[in-house]
Structure 1
């Protein structure tokens, strides 16, 4: 499937060149796209492979995949602007009003690109209805995440289902619908499961780092930080004190090794790994239940499990 990446990239640039007639808008959009392409365009690949799985034969999938990736790019830009934790990104180095405007324009462009992916009016309407439903769902999840209001495991998983999992559903289902097929409940469910598994893996990575992206240093409520805070051991009370704002980041700056040891000792790392694997295993069970996937399974798993550059 790697041979589809240049075709998706080409379609992303074509959309920018066609619709962004203001030179600065096109210039910044292409700069941001270049940064995106240096990493992974996994979501677009999921669109293409689902199109092929469900009988799609033409090149429309690359246009739909470009639409998906343009939306993911806009979402990433807005997410970084909200979190202020990716200073090396070109959109973080651009003036903030410019970055916000370009992200908003790319968001609209993604919808236009999806419209352009097919001339079939019925499929167009189905794609746009699905796209808007999933993007609104993701917007609700993002708002809950921004406010950091999760209180327990279930509320956190509900947020992830609305946010990360909805975007994976969007990517997979775009391929299914473009191929002329109806909404597929099994595809939707396994997209949710892999979305949850991937988010917990990301949480585990961000729990253990000690920089601007550290969930602990940012006092971010995730499945893992909430589990860690449940501990009652006297030697771990500084963790609760920091999370509650009773001590500062400067106070805990020398405690990185102690924090890593605590994550290991309390079983937080094991808990995260087990939870992620549980959802991944459910994803694989659902995957095996769809006959159309058999010839594509190894390629699909390769896309799902690829690491970002």
Structure 2
């Protein structure tokens, strides 16, 4: 991926904040979640969400200026979603530490609005003005799906009745839809073909779900900085470990550490299935003339 493009994305984010953020104290808080590890302004060599947008755009033949602005919008949006998640789960948060819960919620809300502001300014790039509302609407529609997934996640805490299938649905609704919108918006920089865009979104959905499942498996082992165990989150790994699925799937009676290892192994199997589904989507894109090499690298 081109470092020059990452630099342009960073410039777009800074422009959006500096032109719309009000007092310096507020601007400082807005930058905090955007400078965390893994973010383009944090110096990450491979910023996850920016790479997905850029790879999808380049696969579809999108122009650079529009791609950078869309990637900035997605980075702002995901930063907002991450911050809301930290607030709702009580996880460690740089913004909360530097201010308060109320201020952090306000920052997250502002980041959402800045994401839409970036998309609203697409008319100044290679994107025709009449297409700009489609970008804004696409972000809103998928954001609402992700919010519904977050609602299910919060509502399921501590409920033993939430089995592996429901836990998987929650993961897909939360992070899968984030991956879908990032990939679809990126591809929209280069094509208006609805059939193609649906496949791009499908690929992003599988990729986002893979990431969520992997994070959940890691968080299940971290009882110090993560809240999954304390809040009794119904993730796939925990639903498998806590329910009767392990006893049915693995021969013998599993308890304690053995059952935990079985749950992690099961989660890896599910991740593998999602990976194959993502590769299948890429194959369909390749058959339709899309340049999928950079997207293929993101699957691993």
Scaled to the shorter chain, the TM-score interval is: 0.7 to 0.9
CA contact 1:196–1:279 (8 Å) conserved in 2: yes
Identify the residue that residue 71 of structure 1 maps to in structure 2: 77
Identify the residue that residue 128 of structure 1 maps to in structure 2: 136
Distance (whole Å) between structure 2 residues aligned to residue 224 and residue 208 of structure 1: 10
TM-score between both structures, scaled by the size of structure 2:
0.84
CA contact 1:80–1:92 (8 Å) conserved in 2: no
Identify the residue that residue 99 of structure 1 maps to in structure 2: 104
Please point out which of 166, 184, 200 is paired with 1:173.
184
Please point out which of 261, 270, 275 is paired with 2:270.
275
CA deviation map 1:14-41 (0-9, x unaligned): 1101111322221221233222433563
Distance (whole Å) between structure 2 residues aligned to residue 287 and residue 62 of structure 1: 23
RMSD between aligned residues: 2.3
Q: Helix, strand or coil for the counterpart of 2:12?
A: helix
Identify the residue that residue 122 of structure 2 maps to in structure 1: 117
Does the alignment pair 1:153 with 2:159? no
CA contact 2:167–2:236 (8 Å) conserved in 1: yes
Displacement of 1:293 after TM fit? 6.9
CA contact 1:68–1:110 (8 Å) conserved in 2: yes
Residue-pair matches, total: 279
Q: Helix, strand or coil for the counterpart of 1:181?
A: coil
CA contact 1:70–1:107 (8 Å) conserved in 2: yes
TM-score between both structures, scaled by the size of structure 1:
0.82
Identify the residue that residue 193 of structure 2 maps to in structure 1: 182
Tell which structure's C-alpha radius of gyration is larger: 1
Change (3 A) 1:168 1:234: closer
CA deviation map 1:267-293 (0-9, x unaligned): 212111111111111111221221267
Displacement of 1:6 after TM fit? 2.0
Change (3 A) 1:213 1:45: same
Distance (whole Å) between structure 1 residues aligned to residue 185 and residue 283 of structure 2: 20
CA contact 1:165–1:193 (8 Å) conserved in 2: yes
Q: Helix, strand or coil for the counterpart of 2:193?
A: coil
CA deviation map 1:219-241 (0-9, x unaligned): 111112111122468884xxxxx
Displacement of 1:82 after TM fit? 1.0
Distance (whole Å) between structure 2 residues aligned to residue 121 and residue 2 of structure 1: 27
